[in-house]
Amino acid sequence: MAMQREAGLTQTPRRRYDAGVIIVSALSHAQDLVARLRPARSLSLMAPWQRVVFNEAWLPEQRLILAFNDVVETGSVHVAPDDAIVRSIIEFAHGCESGQDVLVHCWMGVSRSPAAAYIIACARAPGDEHAIAEELRRCSPVATPNRLMVAIADDILARNGRMVEAIEHIGRGVEYDGDAAPFCLRLDWRDGPAHQI
């Protein structure tokens, strides 16, 4: 049975760490989260048609907006994530300062933004691919990170299949009706143990 979102509720992600976090969200929650949590930087992932009509004025000044569809195969009429897009996400990751909070959002908060958050965390913590994937699953039972994005990042970052394997290990998220609840991942995995807040 699919999980359902409580109507009209904008949720605040439970912050689990003292250090900087990646706030992962659907677009419907993102503007309110920016107003309340004041992330230093943002990464917006949306379909090309959405980019045309998107009002970005509410985003942090330091922002990156990428337009592509949530697909896992190339060669269709849709714009698939590619090497250039994933390299932009990795560059964004390396541009984040330790201790910063950053927002990553897509349309539903289920596939592209969890994949991007995973890529950001992995880019900053070589060797922790499985731990990051397991924490992602603990934080979001509905997330199904876009596997094409993850595979491209695995290749660029020379992780020898560890990122792909880790995401395959956590499996698909549970079926869900509506936009996924926002959640947080630690930005830097070498800052010591997580702390519940």
User: Over the stretch 133-157, which tens digit does the pLDDT of each residue have?
Assistant: 999 999 999 999 999 999 999 999 9
Which residue(s) pair with 43 in the sheet?
64, 104
Confirm if 23 and 184 have CB atoms less than 8 A apart.
yes
Q: How confident is the model at residue 162 (pLDDT cuts 50, 70, 90)?
A: very high
Structure confidence at residue 12 (pLDDT):
56
- 6: in domain: no
- Range with the poorest average pLDDT among 1-5, 50-54, 136-140, 171-175: 1-5
Structure confidence at residue 7 (pLDDT):
29
- 195: in domain: no
- 181: in domain: yes
- 60: in domain: yes
- 4: in domain: no
Q: How many domains does the chain have?
A: 1
- 1: in domain: no
Query: pTM for this structure?
Result: 0.89
Which residues touch 131 (CB under 8 Å, ≥6 apart)? Answer: 189
Average pLDDT, the chain: 88
- Range with the poorest average pLDDT among 14-23, 105-114, 164-173: 14-23
Domain, as residue range, for 42: 15-185
Q: Of all residues in the chain, what percent carry a pLDDT higher than 90?
A: 77
**CATH number of 57's domain:** 3.90.190.10
Confirm if 64 and 44 have CB atoms less than 8 A apart.
yes
Structure confidence at residue 9 (pLDDT):
32
- 131: in domain: yes
Alpha-carbon separation of residue 10 from 14, 35, 45 (angstroms):
13, 12, 20
Structure confidence at residue 10 (pLDDT):
40
Q: How confident is the model at residue 178 (pLDDT cuts 50, 70, 90)?
A: confident
Interval 48-68 mean pLDDT: 91
Q: Of all residues in the chain, what percent carry a pLDDT higher than 70?
A: 87
Q: How confident is the model at residue 15 (pLDDT cuts 50, 70, 90)?
A: low
Interval 91-116 mean pLDDT: 96
Residue 187 CA to residue 98 CA, distance in Å, equals: 7
